[in-house]
Amino acid sequence: MHAMSGVAVIPRPVAVTSGAGALPISADTEVLADRDSAAAARLLASWLPAAAGPARRPRPLPPAPAPRRAPAPPGAIVLTTDTTRTDLGDEGYALSVAPQGATVTGGTPRGVLWGAQTLRQLLGPPGTATTLPAVDIVDHPRFAWRGLHLDVARHFFPVPFIERLIDLMALYKLNTFHWHLTEDQGWRIEIRSRPRLTETGARRAATPLPQDRTQTDDTSYAGHYTQDEVRRVVAYAGERGVTVVPEIEMPGHSQAALASYPELGCTGSGYEVATTWGIKSDVLCAGRETTFAFLEEVLEEVLELFPGPFIHVGGDECPKQAWRACAHCQARIASERLADEDELQSWFIRRMAGWLGGRGRGLGGLGGGVGGAAWGRRRRATMG
| Domains held by the chain: number | 2
Residue environment code for 324-344, b if the CB has 16+ CB neighbours within 10 A, otherwise e: eebeebeebbeeeebeebbbb
Are 53 and 167 found together in one domain?
Answer: no
Domain CATH for 300: 3.20.20.80
Instruction: Check: CB of residue 171 under 8 Å from CB of residue 121.
Output: yes
CA distances from 232 to 162, 259, 263 (A): 10, 28, 33
Domain membership flag for residue 166:
yes
Are 298 and 372 found together in one domain?
Answer: yes
- What is the separation of C-alpha 357 from the centre of its chain, rounded to a whole number of angstroms? 20
Residue 216, judged by CB atoms within 10 A of its CB (0-12, 13-18, 19+), counts as middle
Domain membership flag for residue 367:
yes
Domain membership flag for residue 384:
no
Region at 253 (left for phi over 0; alpha for psi -120 to 50; beta for the rest): left
Confidence (pLDDT) at 382: 35
Instruction: Check: CB of residue 190 under 8 Å from CB of residue 224.
Output: yes
CA distances from 35 to 11, 56, 58, 333 (A): 28, 17, 11, 56
Per-residue 3-state assignment (H helix, E strand, C coil) for the chain? CEECCCCCCCCCCCEEEEEEEEEECCCCCCEEECHHHHHHHHHHHHHCCCCCCCCCCCEECCCCCHHHCCCCCCCCEEEEECCCCHHHCCCCEEEEEECCEEEEEECCHHHHHHHHHHHHHHHCCCCCCCEEEEEEEEECCCCCCCEEEEECCCCCCCHHHHHHHHHHHHHCCCCEEEEECEECCEECECCCCCCHHHHCCCEECCCEECCEEEEECCCCEECCECHHHHHHHHHHHHHCCCEEEEEEEECCCCHHHHHHCHHHECCCCCCCCCCCCCCCCCCECCCCHHHHHHHHHHHHHHHHHCCCCEEEEECCCECCHHHHCCHHHHHHHHHCCCCCHHHHHHHHHHHHHHHHHCCCCEEEECCCCCCCCEEECCCCCECC
Which of the listed residues 93, 122, 139 is the one where a domain comes to its end?
A: 139
Phi and psi, residue 56, nearest 5°? -60, 135
Residue 87 CA to residue 93 CA, distance in Å, equals 9
Confidence (pLDDT) at 128: 76
- Encoded amino acid at 384, one letter: G
Are 194 and 121 found together in one domain?
Answer: no
Confidence (pLDDT) at 295: 98
Confidence (pLDDT) at 366: 86
Confidence (pLDDT) at 367: 64
Are 51 and 91 found together in one domain?
Answer: yes
Residue 193 CA to residue 196 CA, distance in Å, equals 9
CA distances from 182 to 161, 173, 188, 223, 264 (A): 18, 26, 6, 12, 15
Domain membership flag for residue 16:
yes
- Per-residue pLDDT 10s for the chain (384 aa) are 344 556 889 999 999 999 999 999 988 899 999 999 999 999 999 998 765 444 567 778 766 555 555 678 899 999 999 999 999 999 999 999 999 999 999 999 999 999 999 999 999 887 777 899 999 999 999 999 999 999 999 999 999 999 999 999 999 999 999 999 999 999 999 999 999 999 999 999 999 999 999 899 999 999 999 999 999 999 999 999 999 999 999 999 999 999 999 999 999 999 999 999 999 999 999 999 999 999 999 999 999 999 999 999 999 999 999 999 999 999 999 999 999 999 999 999 999 999 999 999 999 998 655 554 455 543 333 334
Residue count of the chain? 384
Confidence (pLDDT) at 7: 84
Q: Give the residue numbers spanning the domain of 162.
A: 147-376
Which of the listed residues 139, 168, 188 is the one where a domain comes to its end?
A: 139
Are 217 and 323 found together in one domain?
Answer: yes
The closest alpha carbon to 258, from 294, 293, 302, 301, belongs to: 294
Are 130 and 154 found together in one domain?
Answer: no
CA distances from 319 to 268, 279, 332 (A): 17, 8, 17
pTM confidence score: 0.92
Are 118 and 181 found together in one domain?
Answer: no
Are 135 and 160 found together in one domain?
Answer: no
Domain CATH for 68: 3.30.379.10
The dihedral built from the CA positions of residue 200, 228, 219 and 179, taken in this order, carries a sign that is positive
Confidence (pLDDT) at 69: 59
Q: β-strand 59-60 against 15-24: which pairing, if any?
A: unpaired
Residue 220 CA to residue 379 CA, distance in Å, equals 33
Are 341 and 195 found together in one domain?
Answer: yes
Are 133 and 230 found together in one domain?
Answer: no
